[in-house]
Structure 1
């Protein structure tokens, strides 16, 4: 393996681990744990490629330090989950980017996740329906086996057919991928909440609709949500051993 490649891997590891420490210091423990694990794996790949004994000792010490911290966080998170006291908060600033559904939900998706509940009154207009579709696509690509998605939303009184037809198409498309969409409407729903049956509850102030509209169909961020600017909103994450159903 070339020195340039090893140097590139080390740069990536440093970047990910720096982010892990920032999240750790900010009390965003579940997110930091994911970054620590990714960074440690990158450092282990570097260690495998390095031949110099002094450098190998340096990397082994670094890996041990980060692994120890990751274990401490894991124990702390597990204890907070056990006590029913887990709560962390993410504040998304106005015009911030880098908060696609993949990024936001990744720390809370695990192989145990098989069922998802979405309560969001605003899955009505075309861009909101696309948001929900993108959320479903994210779940299909994630390292989990989601078999059922529940959606509770309000009915669009101005263009009922567009909403009904779009959600029917999403339901049929999900069905072709082995996922059932359970759709219900409520005229009184106002909370926005996403629940995973692995215990995580994510409450986003603006629901799934926290992205700003791109300036045009050929503007950067139109296709890639990581590059799309966001509205200011707050995300609260909780964990419960007993996830209620709709």
Structure 2
């Protein structure tokens, strides 16, 4: 489906300019997050930027022509390259993970607050968190999310990035947006970058922590039964909440932010001289490819010269 409307040409051009500006911001933010070690958020930002740009280029009605079309097609190639690079490394970590705990919760059981379940894994070593939560359409879902965030604020003194991926509420999209935007502002006051995006038909719930833990739970964050009395234990302390029957698996792999993801170290903010822009990144990649080609040509010439000299010496 096109992300541009079906209005007049002038309106569509205005929409296109705005969307391209958003794509630039997403990619720039992704690069900065990658350089600061928040590779989980960086990966999802690259993915969002790539999907937006691909949707524009796949729309035959888009007004991109000539050099502008060539430039953004070139950018898409690099967006996909960065995303695939991180995706391969993240996938490599996850496939080598080992299960460290498995928790079985019976129907109506209590004593399973987020702190009791996950507190030992959410520590000061966590800098970056990526949450896939399909259900955020009801008030009880939002309360669970806020309670989980409260535990993060208490436990993770060094967390700087939290990224949420969820489904859009089809019935009350404006209410959902207002709540999530309010969470963004609240987290910003605590020096935490909270961001979110919507993904169509998201089904699998999981939480990735930058210290290498992966949390899988069939109910996502919503393991608690919502029908509790308003003025009874469980209102604030989730240890008193009755739970649904659930199974939670905790997996451990190598930390996601161990420095091995900074494969474009030359452009790190502490060493680069020019501002971090899409154009500078593209120019850098062009320069790197030209340099590699020149180096290969030089090595080939040296090799051919050595062969000729060797042949002459034998004669």
Shorter-chain TM-score category?
A: 0.5 to 0.7
Q: Please list every run of 5 or more consecutive structure 1 residues that lacks an aligned counterpart in the other structure.
A: 1-80
Counterpart position of 1:230: 243
Following the alignment from structure 2 to structure 1, what is the Cα–Cα distance between the partners of residues 215 and 97? 15
1:155 counterpart residue number: 168
Q: Secondary structure at the match of 2:119?
A: helix
- The structure 1 residue matched to 2:128, chosen from 115, 122, 142, is 115
Cα drift, residue 210 of structure 1: 0.6
Shift in Å at residue 152 of structure 1? Answer: 0.1
Question: Do residues 217 (structure 1) and 230 (structure 2) align?
Answer: yes
State the Cα deviation string for residues 50-88 of structure 1 (Å, max 9, x = none): xxxxxxxxxxxxxxxxxxxxxxxxxxxxxxx9x743342
The question of 1:92 aligning with 2:139 is answered no
Q: CA deviation at 1:150?
A: 0.5
TM-score w.r.t. length of structure 2: 0.49
Which one of 190, 194, 211 corresponds to residue 198 of structure 1?
Answer: 211
| Structure 1, 86-95 or 119-128: larger mean CA deviation | 86-95
Tell me the alpha carbon deviations over residues 146-185 of structure 1, each in whole angstroms, 9 at most, x when there is no partner.
1110100000000111111111111110110111112010
Paired residue total: 164
In structure 2, what is the Cα distance between the partners aligned to 1:158 and 1:84? 38
Q: Identify unmatched segments of 5+ residues in structure 2.
A: 1-93, 262-315
1:21-43, CA deviations, whole angstroms, 9 ceiling, x for partnerless residues?
A: xxxxxxxxxxxxxxxxxxxxxxx
Checking the alignment, whether the CA contact within 8 Å between 1:214 and 1:222 is kept in structure 2 is no
Alpha-carbon offset, residue 110 of structure 1: 2.4
Give the 3-state SS of the residue equivalent to 2:120 in structure 1: helix
One of 101, 114, 131 as aligned partner of 2:144: 131
Secondary structure of residue in 2 paired with 1:163: helix
Q: 1:121–1:153: 8 Å Cα contact kept in structure 2?
A: yes
